[in-house]
């Protein structure tokens, strides 16, 4: 029971009929979504690889849908679902270095894929949004009704706005065509298999790598961006995958919904926690010439609980331990 509502367990009968295209299915979040689809007994799981399908190109999108659905549009139910996870994503540094790429690639992938999916008769489209779509000074905790109350934080606005257009498209296609597209807004993710490349990674894997490498080298300090004052909320990747699939199965409405853990932490406190868990005993130096990013991020997650019974399960410190353990065991995979 969640908030007075009783939800059944995930339905193997529902998934046994579903052929699911998971873009980005070989990536960080996507690999967990694919595993959970396998556990649920999905009829078929299609993971388009970038080497074969560049989803920025319309011809590759149509070729993918031709392969899965045939060359002529079908009338629903087609028993085909698209979960669109593929994205060009990264931390503040990557967003500042490539704002045009972050806008164009994410916009073109999503808009064209949703349009062609509607044309072909796909039953349901799950368009993964981003917390970066929220305005810079959104009241905390972020509620979905505040999505349009201002401009996103400047360092990731091109990415956030490109992904936000998928919400506009989903609602417009639902209104005009009756197309069943839903829009989850996951908060910052972390966990095993994350990207640990310091040029493009997010904050948790970056701090973990810096602490582990400094400890191994006997270095006395690590340098982190900003002043440590911003706050963030983090969601363990397996929890995120579970939330996406619960929504894919149970929710069929136009409203966007947050996926989060409900826990807010200062970056300074996060860094000290990771240092303790990795065993790094040196000094943490804050480079205040670098940007902080959005001042605060924390979500109101009531809508996801009410709509389809999702609540995050992983305790934060345990999730960090598992992430650190994975990184230590998979150093070369993490670096690549």
Return the H-helix or E-strand segment holding 222: strand 221-225
Angstrom distance (rounded) from CA 196 to CA 211: 12
Active-site residue, from 53, 134, 159, 327: 159
Closest by CA position to 132, among listed 105, 98, 162, 112: 162
**DSSP H helical ranges for the chain:** 12-16, 28-40, 58-69, 92-97, 99-120, 157-177, 203-217, 237-250, 267-278, 302-308, 316-329, 331-335
Angstrom distance (rounded) from CA 158 to CA 122: 28
User: Catalytic site residue 159?
Assistant: yes
Angstrom distance (rounded) from CA 92 to CA 138: 19
Cβ proximity of 37 and 88 under 8 Å: no
Instruction: Estimate to the nearest angstrom the gap between the alpha carbon of 204 and the chain centroid.
Output: 14
What is the number of other CB atoms lying within 10 angstroms of the CB of residue 45? 18
What is the number of other CB atoms lying within 10 angstroms of the CB of residue 34? 23
Phi, psi of 126, rounded to the nearest 5 degrees: -105, 105
Angstrom distance (rounded) from CA 236 to CA 192: 9
User: Structure tokens of 46?
Assistant: 């299609």
Cβ proximity of 232 and 188 under 8 Å: yes
User: Active-site residues: which are they?
Assistant: 159
């Amino acid at each position: 029971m969640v908030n007075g509502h009783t939800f059944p367990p995930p339905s193997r009968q529902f998934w046994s009929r579903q052929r699911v295209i998971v873009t980005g299915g070989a990536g960080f979040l996507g690999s967990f979504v694919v595993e959970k689809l396998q556990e649920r007994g999905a009829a078929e799981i299609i993971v388009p690889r970038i080497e074969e399908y560049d989803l920025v190109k319309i011809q590759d999108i149509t070729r993918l849908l031709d392969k899965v659905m045939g060359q002529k549009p079908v009338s629903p139910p087609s028993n085909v679902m698209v979960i669109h996870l593929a994205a060009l994503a990264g931390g503040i540094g990557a967003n500042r270095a490539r704002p045009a790429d972050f806008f164009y690639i994410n916009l073109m992938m999503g808009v064209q894929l949703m349009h062609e999916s509607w044309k072909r008769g796909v039953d349901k489209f799950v368009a993964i949004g981003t917390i970066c779509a929220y305005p810079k000074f959104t009241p905390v905790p972020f509620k979905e009704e505040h999505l349009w109350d201002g401009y996103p934080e400047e360092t990731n606005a091109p990415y956030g706005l490109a992904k936000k257009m998928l919400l506009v498209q989903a609602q417009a296609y639902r209104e005009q065509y009756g197309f069943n597209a839903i829009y989850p807004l996951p908060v910052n993710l972390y966990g095993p298999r994350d990207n640990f490349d310091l040029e493009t990674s997010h904050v948790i894997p970056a701090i973990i790598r810096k602490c582990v490498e400094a400890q191994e080298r006997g270095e006395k300090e690590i340098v982190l961006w900003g002043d440590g004052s911003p706050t963030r909320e983090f969601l363990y990747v397996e929890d995120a995958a579970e939330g996406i699939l619960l929504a894919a199965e149970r929710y069929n409405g136009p409203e966007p919904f947050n996926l989060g853990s409900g826990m807010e932490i200062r970056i300074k406190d996060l860094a000290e926690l990771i240092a303790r868990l990795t065993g790094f005993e040196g000094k943490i130096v804050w480079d205040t010439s670098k940007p902080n990013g959005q001042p605060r991020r924390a979500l109101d997650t009531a809508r996801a609980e009410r709509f389809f019974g999702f609540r995050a399960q992983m305790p934060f410190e345990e999730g960090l331990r598992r992430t650190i353990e994975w990184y230590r065991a998979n150093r070369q995979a993490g670096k690549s």
